[in-house]
Chains A and B, each alone.
Chain A
Amino acid sequence: MIELITTKKQTPSVADNWLYKDENEIRVFRKLVFLPESKPAWAECTTAEKEQWEAEHPEPVMDKAMEEQQ
């Protein structure tokens, strides 16, 4: 039996925009995602909104984090 697998391809409605999803306390920004058929589409934001979010949520510096844990 051949199982039909469907994948949803999603891109921003406006080329300059970004797709995003909050996952594991991190916001992932992408221009292209492939979703399982059953999963909801990612939200969309402008580049300015993306940059503002990134400015407000800088990535952790791994080594600093390590030192703190030790």
Chain B
Amino acid sequence: MSKINEQIERLRELVRKCYSAVASKNGTIPNVGERTVSNLGAAIESIPSVDDWDVVVNVAPSNMNGFLSKKNNIKSFQLKDNTSTDVSNLLYLNKTIERLDIPKIFPNATRASYFMSGAINLQSHVDVKFPVATDVSGFNDLHNVPSIRLVAPNAYYSTNMSYASNATSIYVECGTYNGNFKISNAYKAKLITIKGYFTTFNGMFSNDSSLETAYIPDLSNVTNIDYCFSFCSKLVNLYIDGRMPNISLSNLFTKTCDALSRDSLMRVIDALPTTTNGYTLGLGATNIAKLTNEEIAVATAKGWTIA
């Protein structure tokens, strides 16, 4: 009996390796119950071929506005043409789309608003560039994408990029954002990079509870930064490409950011402008204890209260 059990365990291990091998190639074996030999056949039979797409567009029209918006019977989409000028609402509120193969750059797209907003079941990496589009809103509620990379240097407006709940890394490069842009509730994101010009930054990383490293741009012109890092309890490394704003920073690191490294704290202090307004930089007792009196004096000499 023990030899039979050994054989069964060996087969189980082989099945586990099969699942791992498929997963390593970004394939998926659907769950058909417990992952054992007995149902392996059923599982393999139900594997979709990666070459099968529900919708394939070889030559796209100029106007793709709303092409698969709310088309909730579509699970996969391949777009081979990147010449469209309007890709607004392309996947807006498409709640069934899982796999996506689209160009990495849309050189002619001037309109890209609500691009894939609410594609809650999308499981493909999002990596897209809009060199000329001015509105690239629509990357919110991508609950199941493993990563997001958005480059839109001409963009001036966006709605939020919140609830990328399973993304482990997010990269955003944009022009001027005056909208209510946020990357909050990215619960598994360990690395977030933001480049661009912002006037509001409040709640930007709120509830990004796995965030370890954040790169942020110059914030000189930001008028609201309240609760920017709320609940970023694992944030260690913070890099600032420029200056902090001359506004209250009293609740920048609330609830709490006690993992911040001393170097990160000093980068914040070094980026402070001189203020005559009596503003406060709220670090909390744990972070203050990482600094020497001389390092704290760098901030107070610029008119800031450290609290």
| A65 in contact with B303 given A26-B251, A28-B250, A28-B251 (CB within 8 Å) | no
B-chain residues with CB within 8 Å of residue A6 when the two chains form the complex: 297
B87 within 8 A of A: no
| B137: min CB distance to chain A, Å | 10
Asked if A23 and B250 make an inter-chain contact with CB atoms under 8 angstroms apart, the answer reads yes
Known: A28-B307, A62-B202. 15 other contacts (CB 8 A): A5-B300, A19-B307, A23-B248, A23-B250, A26-B250, A26-B251, A28-B250, A28-B280, A34-B305, A36-B305, A39-B278, A39-B303, A39-B305, A66-B182, A70-B180
B307 lies within 8 A of A30 (CB): yes
Number of A-B contacts (CB under 8 A): 88
The answer to whether B297 touches A5 (Cβ under 8 A) is: yes
Tell me if A32 is interfacial: C-beta within 8 Å of chain B. yes
The interface residues of chain B lying within 8 Å CB-to-CB of A26 are 226, 248, 250-251
Q: Is A52 an interface residue (CB 8 A)?
A: no
Contact among B230, B288, B293, B300 with A32 in the assembled complex (CB-CB below 8 Å): B288
Most chain B CB atoms below 10 A, which of A32, A37, A63: A63
Distance from B165 Cβ to chain A, minimum over Cβ atoms (Å): 12
Asked whether A23 and B279 contact (CB < 8 A) given A34-B305, A62-B184, the answer is yes
Given contacts A24-B226, A28-B251, A66-B203, contact A36 B304 (CB under 8 A): yes
- B301: CB under 8 A from chain A? yes
Residues of A within 8 A of B (CB): 5-7, 19, 21, 23-24, 26, 28, 30-39, 42, 59-60, 62-63, 65-66, 69-70
* Complex A-B: 16 CB contacts under 8 Å: A5-B301, A6-B297, A7-B293, A7-B296, A23-B248, A30-B307, A33-B280, A34-B305, A35-B305, A42-B307, A62-B202, A62-B203, A62-B206, A63-B184, A65-B203, A66-B160
Binary contact track B59-85/A, C-beta < 8 Å → 1, others 0: 000000000000000000000000000
A60 to chain B, nearest CB (A): 8
Q: How far is the CA of A38 from the CA of B277 in the complex (A)?
A: 11
**Interface membership of chain B positions 81-122, coded 1 if the CB is closer than 8 angstroms to chain A and 0 otherwise:** 000000000000000000000000000000000000000000
The residue in A19, A24, A37, A59 that gathers the most chain B C-beta atoms within 10 A of its C-beta is A24
Closest-CB distance, B147 to chain A (whole angstroms) = 22
Q: Give the contacts of B289-307 with A (CB-CB under 8 A).
A: 293, 296-297, 299-301, 303-307
Contact status B247-A34, CB under 8 Å: no
Flag whether B207 is at the interface (Cβ < 8 A).
yes
Indicate whether A36 sits within 8 Å of B303 (C-beta atoms), given known contacts A66-B180, A69-B180, A70-B180: yes
Minimum CB–CB distance for B283 against chain A, Å:
10
**A34–B250 Cα gap in the complex (Å)?**
13
Cβ–Cβ contact A31 & B306, under 8 A: no
Q: Who on chain B is nearest to A40 by CB?
A: B278
Quick check: A34 and B230 within 8 Å, CB to CB? no
Minimal beta-carbon separation of B141 from chain A (angstroms): 11
8 cross-chain pairs, A with B, having the tightest CB-CB distances, nearest first: A24-B248, A62-B203, A33-B307, A34-B306, A7-B300, A36-B300, A5-B297, A30-B307
**A25 CB, nearest partner CB in chain B, Å:** 9
Asked whether, in the complex, the Cβ of B297 is within 8 Å of the Cβ of A32, the reply is no
Nearest neighbor of A7 in chain B, beta-carbon distance:
B300
Contact of B307 with A63 in the complex, beta carbons under 8 Å: no
Distance of A8 from chain B, by nearest CB (Å): 8
